[in-house]
Structure 1
Amino acid sequence: MTKIEMVNLMKQCVNPHKICRVFFKYGINYWYYFPLIVNEKFFLGAEEDDFILNGYSIRRFKDMKKVEIKDDKCLEINMLEGTVDQLIIPNVDITNWKTIFSSLKAIDHSVIVEQESLIEDECQFVIGRIEKIFNNHVYIRGFDADGVWEDEFYKIPYAEITSVTFGSRYVEIFSKYLPPIK
Structure 2
Amino acid sequence: MKNEMREKIKDFYENQKFARITRKVADDWDELSRGYIVDFSNDFVVIQECDDFRLLGFNILLIKDFKQIRHNNNDKYYDKIMLLENEKKNIGIKTKVDLTDWKSIFQSLRKNKKNVVVECENPEIDSFTIGPIKRISDKSVFIQYFNATGFLDEKPTKIEFKNITKIMFDDRYVDIFSKYTRERKKKKTTANNV
Superposed CA deviations along residues 35-80 of structure 1, whole A, max 9, x for unmatched, are 0111221101100112111100001011121111355111111112
Q: Partners in 2 of 1:93 and 1:64 — Cα distance?
A: 20
Superposed CA deviations along residues 140-173 of structure 1, whole A, max 9, x for unmatched, are 1110011000011111111111110011221111
User: Please, which runs of 5 or more residues in structure 1 have no aligned partner?
Assistant: none
Equivalent of 1:78 in 72, 76, 82: 82
CA contact (8 A) 1:10 1:20 kept: no
CA contact (8 A) 2:24 2:31 kept: no
Residue 35 of structure 2 corresponds to residue 33 of structure 1: yes
Change (3 A) 1:29 1:100: closer
The residue aligned with 1:97 is 102
Q: Partners in 2 of 1:104 and 1:79 — Cα distance?
A: 30
Q: CA deviation at 1:28?
A: 4.3
**Which of 1 and 2 has greater Rg?**
2
Change (3 A) 1:88 1:122: same
Q: Partners in 1 of 2:55 and 2:131 — Cα distance?
A: 21
Q: Partners in 1 of 2:184 and 2:70 — Cα distance?
A: 43
Q: Partners in 2 of 1:108 and 1:173 — Cα distance?
A: 14
Which 4+ residue blocks in structure 1 deviate beyond 6 angstroms? none
Q: CA deviation at 1:13?
A: 1.3
Q: TM-score, normalised by structure 1?
A: 0.91
Q: Whose strand fraction is larger, Structure 1's or Structure 2's?
A: 1
Secondary structure, in 3 states, of the residue corresponding to 1:150? coil
Equivalent of 2:150 in 131, 147, 155: 147
Letter in 2 for 1:114: E
The residue aligned with 1:22 is 21
The residue aligned with 2:188 is none
User: Please, which runs of 5 or more residues in structure 2 have no aligned partner?
Assistant: 186-194
The residue aligned with 1:108 is 113
CA contact (8 A) 1:9 1:69 kept: no
Residue 138 of structure 2 corresponds to residue 135 of structure 1: yes
CA contact (8 A) 2:151 2:183 kept: no
* Count of aligned residue pairs for this structure pair: 179
CA contact (8 A) 2:118 2:128 kept: yes
Stretch of structure 1 that moved more, 139-148 or 21-30: 21-30
The residue aligned with 2:189 is none
Q: Percent identity?
A: 34
Secondary structure, in 3 states, of the residue corresponding to 2:3? helix
Q: CA deviation at 1:181?
A: 8.8
The residue aligned with 1:10 is 9
**Please, what is the CA RMSD of the aligned residues?**
1.8
CA contact (8 A) 1:7 1:38 kept: no
Q: Partners in 2 of 1:55 and 1:178 — Cα distance?
A: 19
Q: Partners in 2 of 1:45 and 1:153 — Cα distance?
A: 27
CA contact (8 A) 2:116 2:131 kept: yes
Secondary structure, in 3 states, of the residue corresponding to 1:127? strand
Q: CA deviation at 1:14?
A: 1.2
Letter in 2 for 1:122: I
